[in-house]
Amino acid sequence: MPTVFHARLSTFVEASPIEGFNANLTGSSDYAAMEGASVVIVTAGVPRKPGISRDDLLGINLEVMESVGAGIKQHAPDALVICITNPLDAWCGRCRKHVVCR
């Protein structure tokens, strides 16, 4: 059954014949699915809900990004990491802190 992951990834697959590359794209919330990946695209984060302050949301999402960074470090330490989450500066900085960067 297709998921939101598959729908988002389909746009990358459509470019492969034009650009001349082969790709195996997988979307998952299981960190083990990125084992050996050369590129990891991070879209993690919890949306703001009624009654949650922006500061509380920041704290929650920083913990999420720490977990994502640890998962990348464990399963795909040599991957190029692309973070497309908001606020971008805070999430990328926190993710980078937990992934070995070259």
Position of tokens 């040599």?
A: 78
* 53 to 10, 20, 48, 70: CA distances (angstroms): 35, 46, 8, 26
Instruction: Read off the tokens for 98.
Output: 């937990």
In order, the DSSP letters of 55-93 are HHHHHHHHHHHHHHHHHHHHH-TTSEEEE--SSHHHHHH
User: What is the rounded average pLDDT of the residues 62-69?
Assistant: 83
pLDDT at 80: 86
Please give the single-letter amino acid code of residue 82.
I
75 — pLDDT class (breaks 50, 70, 90): very high
Segment 47-57 shows an average pLDDT of 83
**Can you tell me the distance from the alpha carbon of 81 to that of 72, in angstroms, rounded to the nearest whole number?**
8
| Residues making up the chain, counted from first to last | 102
pLDDT confidence tier of residue 86, bands split at 50, 70 and 90: low
* pLDDT recorded at residue 18: 80
Pick the more confident residue, 9 or 79: 79
Q: What is the mean pLDDT of the chain?
A: 77
